[in-house]
A and B are shown apart, each in its own frame.
Chain A
Amino acid sequence: MADITSNLPGLTYGPATYRSPVTERRGTRLILIGLTILLLVLFLVLPLVTVFREAFRAGVGKFLETFQNPDARSAIWLTLLVAALAVPCNLVFGVAAAWAIAKHKFPGRAFLISLIDLPFSVSPVVAGLIYILLLGTNAPIGGFLYENFGIRIIFAIPGIVLATIFVTFPFIARELIPLMQDQGTGDEEAAISLGATGWQAFWYVTLPNVKWALLYGVLLCNARAMGEFGAVAVLSGKLRGETVTMPLQVELFYNEYATVAAFSLASLLAGLALVTLIIKSWLEWRYGDHLAPGGRTH
């Protein structure tokens, strides 16, 4: 490239001074990069470091002691249980919604796309309140279930799971829709023209084509499911050892001035988020072509 530019009149840059026309000046670049790093440190790295520092301030022994606390233990188990229920549900819903929207044309399709985004735009607290109104023991549906079957939804585990499903619903669908739309229906048509049933076309062709995006969506969904606070706080009733998830337990500890315990549990949450992030980055690095929307390999 340097050869070409050096032949142009007025451009006598040698290879060392060659500058791409779309690159900014050195000063501008340094300011932009500096600002970004400053913001990252202030808003992301510092809080994270603080969480871990507070957790270990009284030593490793105190840190580990937190996890002997029965409330903390039950919170961890509940969080894992909720994620284990919510993520598979959203896996099925997300794939079904993405499949319907990306591969089929039907009236109301655009509306459905907006509807999928609803959990992103509605405040989680509002979502929680809606469930109380619908499923509380005084509400028609909730009352019916409680009186006839003795099933409590609100202030119990089913409510927490429902709230988590609601809040994390868009993650998988949102990840799949652009990719599936971009891939079109050509591969599925090829499969059915070769005699495949709709289910076979989905299983052998559609799903393998989106598997990395799907995994990525599951990771994001899982991270959010474990960290959800607002909607779960409204629905859980905060019965210690029963309906308290990790983020709620962190708040309870903190309000009781059990700072070390609060930050120890918080560091575990942060650690889980970091692991998710690392897996996600590794996936991006390893299978970048498959993940990026439009990243067809041929």
Chain B
Amino acid sequence: MELAIRNVTKIFDGFTALDNISLNVRSGELIALLGPSGSGKTTLLRLIAGLDFLTSGQILFGDEDASAKSVQERNVGFVFQHYALFRHMTVLENVSFGLKIRPARSRPPAAEIRRRALELLDLVQLTGLENRYPNQLSGGQRQRVALARALCIEPRVLLLDEPFGALDAQVRRELRRWLREIHDATGHTSIFVTHDQEEALELADRVVVMNKGRLEQIGTPDEIYDNPVSPFVFSFIGESSSLPVKITNGQVWLQDRTIGLTEPNAPDGPATLFFRPHDIEIVDGCGGCIAGTVVASRRVAGTKHVEIEIGAEQHRVEIELPVEHPAATRSRIAFRPKKWKVFPASGEPLYHTAPAPAETHPATMLGRVAV
């Protein structure tokens, strides 16, 4: 089932939760809605399901306008963040609920319902647990019951709200791989919400990055990571460092010197330079590079994270070096980013590792990959 979201806006009591969102989902695709909390990703998912109603815009299921249809009419499978399993029903009763409550004319016979439910429990690897109650299951098992229950009604679209949010890291990784397998086996068009970029980048065919109710970027995980189109996406996805710079005639200036990077298309004026801490090269003599003093160095697993203070204004950036690199505190170090981007300075705070959502305006893409 193809899905089209056209100019969807949602306003809650004067607060714009979604601002003119448009998105096309291809049949059989697995899409991740990724963003910090408050970015509107869950709201969008609930609008698609029909659990909330949109303020303006359209949601199309195939060619059919579903905007005004009720949840029941839309026939979507929804997996809730906290599973919302019916605690007074067994696993089997939970899974078969959606079929049992159908009106007699569209309800399969009891034996068929049972067969289908058991088949789905087999698919989610819970065979033998059909007579347990939800409180007798582990978090991961409940998650899988919730998925089987949503699949049992043969939904046109499968929607998952933070499907692994309440699970511990180990189970998350296992279930992630397993969800991909289920998706490939059943072929449902699926959309899941997550704030975990690793989850989105690993699992999804395409990632939709959202911030403050707006779409920042839509693309494959590789495109999102390699070609971020806004400061927000660059700083939200993966590790990043940034420096305030100035552009004059296509030359990138750091304070009073050029750093050997050119961007012919960039307009003159203040800008922000972004690069990945691991995408740099250490240079010896500094004719056109970024140089600074090492203020801290941490060994994180297989790499060394080195914090460098640059220039009189003491901007700090982080780069990654091989463990054996001799960079010591207070020593001078010079480097040049291999891949980088500049965005015109917006004056907005950036989103690095801070958990709170930061305000950024979508900026025109100006960067390019230095070869």
Is there contact, CB below 8 Å, between B101 and A209?
Answer: no
Q: Is B71 an interface residue (CB 8 A)?
A: yes
B residues 12-46 in Cβ contact with A at 8 Å: none
A residues 267-298 in Cβ contact with B at 8 Å: 296-298
Q: Which of A186, A192, A204, A205 contacts B80 (CB 8 A)?
A: A186
Which of B70, B82, B101, B153 counts the most chain A CB atoms within 10 A? B101
Looking at A17-25, A195-203, A256-264, the stretch in contact with chain B turns out to be A195-203
Contacts of A298 in B (CB 8 A): 85, 87, 134-135, 142
Q: Is B188 an interface residue (CB 8 A)?
A: no
Q: Is B308 an interface residue (CB 8 A)?
A: no
For the complex, would chain A's binding face be called helix, strand, loop or mixed by DSSP majority?
A: helix
Expressed in whole angstroms, the minimum distance between the Cβ of B138 and any Cβ of chain A is 11
Expressed in whole angstroms, the minimum distance between the Cβ of A222 and any Cβ of chain B is 24
Q: Which of B70, B75, B88, B133 contacts A209 (CB 8 A)?
A: B88
Q: Is B61 an interface residue (CB 8 A)?
A: no
Q: Which of A191, A195, A296 contacts B87 (CB 8 A)?
A: A296
Q: Is B200 an interface residue (CB 8 A)?
A: no
A residues 207-225 in Cβ contact with B at 8 Å: 208-209
Is there contact, CB below 8 Å, between B72 and A197?
Answer: yes
Residue of B nearest to A211 (CB): B88
Q: Is A187 an interface residue (CB 8 A)?
A: yes
Is there contact, CB below 8 Å, between A192 and B71?
Answer: yes
Expressed in whole angstroms, the minimum distance between the Cβ of A173 and any Cβ of chain B is 22
Q: Which of A187, A195, A196 contacts B75 (CB 8 A)?
A: A195
Expressed in whole angstroms, the minimum distance between the Cβ of A261 and any Cβ of chain B is 48
Is there contact, CB below 8 Å, between A209 and B71?
Answer: no
Known: A296-B87, A297-B87, A298-B135. A189 touches B97 (CB 8 A): no
Residue of B nearest to A207 (CB): B88
Residue of A nearest to B142 (CB): A298
**In the docked arrangement, what's the CA distance between A81 and B75, Å?**
48
Q: Which of A187, A189, A194 contacts B153 (CB 8 A)?
A: A194
Is there contact, CB below 8 Å, between B76 and A193?
Answer: yes
**In the docked arrangement, what's the CA distance between A196 and B86, Å?**
13
Q: Is B98 an interface residue (CB 8 A)?
A: yes
Contacts of B153 in A (CB 8 A): 194-195
Q: Which of B51, B135, B149, B152 contacts A189 (CB 8 A)?
A: B51
Q: Is B286 an interface residue (CB 8 A)?
A: no
Contacts of B84 in A (CB 8 A): 186-187, 189-190
Contacts of A192 in B (CB 8 A): 70-72
Q: Which of A186, A197, A204, A296 contacts B97 (CB 8 A)?
A: A204
Is there contact, CB below 8 Å, between B72 and A196?
Answer: yes
Q: Is B340 an interface residue (CB 8 A)?
A: no
Expressed in whole angstroms, the minimum distance between the Cβ of A203 and any Cβ of chain B is 9
Contacts of A186 in B (CB 8 A): 80, 82, 84
Count residues on chain B whose CB falls below 8 Å from chain A CBs: 28
A residues 140-194 in Cβ contact with B at 8 Å: 186-187, 189-194
Which of A189, A190, A194, A200 counts the most chain B CB atoms within 10 A? A194
Known: A186-B80, A197-B72, A298-B85. A191 touches B49 (CB 8 A): no
Q: Is B234 an interface residue (CB 8 A)?
A: no
Q: Is B115 an interface residue (CB 8 A)?
A: no
**In the docked arrangement, what's the CA distance between A204 and B97, Å?**
9
Known: A195-B98, A195-B153, A209-B88. A190 touches B72 (CB 8 A): no
Contacts of A204 in B (CB 8 A): 86, 97, 101
**In the docked arrangement, what's the CA distance between A197 and B80, Å?**
19
Q: Mark B72-92, 1 if CB is under 8 A from A, else 0.
A: 100111101010111110000
Expressed in whole angstroms, the minimum distance between the Cβ of B139 and any Cβ of chain A is 9
Residue of A nearest to B76 (CB): A193
Is there contact, CB below 8 Å, between B86 and A190?
Answer: yes
Expressed in whole angstroms, the minimum distance between the Cβ of A244 and any Cβ of chain B is 44
Q: Is B315 an interface residue (CB 8 A)?
A: no
Is there contact, CB below 8 Å, between A205 and B86?
Answer: yes
B residues 120-158 in Cβ contact with A at 8 Å: 133-135, 142, 149-150, 152-153
**In the docked arrangement, what's the CA distance between A32 and B67, Å?**
64
Contacts of A194 in B (CB 8 A): 97-98, 101, 149-150, 152-153
Contacts of A208 in B (CB 8 A): 86, 88
Expressed in whole angstroms, the minimum distance between the Cβ of A189 and any Cβ of chain B is 6
Is there contact, CB below 8 Å, between A195 and B102?
Answer: yes
Contacts of A195 in B (CB 8 A): 72, 75, 98, 101-102, 153
Is there contact, CB below 8 Å, between B78 and A190?
Answer: yes
Contacts of A205 in B (CB 8 A): 86
**In the docked arrangement, what's the CA distance between A298 and B225, Å?**
38
Contacts of B150 in A (CB 8 A): 193-194
Contacts of A200 in B (CB 8 A): 101
Contacts of A190 in B (CB 8 A): 78, 80, 84-86, 149
Contacts of B149 in A (CB 8 A): 190, 194
Residue of B nearest to A203 (CB): B101
Contacts of B80 in A (CB 8 A): 186, 189-190
B residues 311-348 in Cβ contact with A at 8 Å: none
Contacts of B86 in A (CB 8 A): 187, 190-191, 204-205, 208
Contacts of B49 in A (CB 8 A): 193
Expressed in whole angstroms, the minimum distance between the Cβ of B316 and any Cβ of chain A is 43
Sample (24) of A-B pairs whose CB atoms are under 8 Å apart: A186-B80, A186-B82, A189-B71, A189-B78, A190-B86, A190-B149, A192-B70, A192-B72, A193-B51, A193-B76, A193-B77, A194-B149, A195-B72, A195-B75, A195-B101, A195-B102, A195-B153, A196-B72, A196-B98, A196-B101, A205-B86, A298-B85, A298-B87, A298-B142
Pairs of residues from A and B, 3 with the lowest C-beta to C-beta distance, nearest first: A194-B98, A190-B84, A193-B78
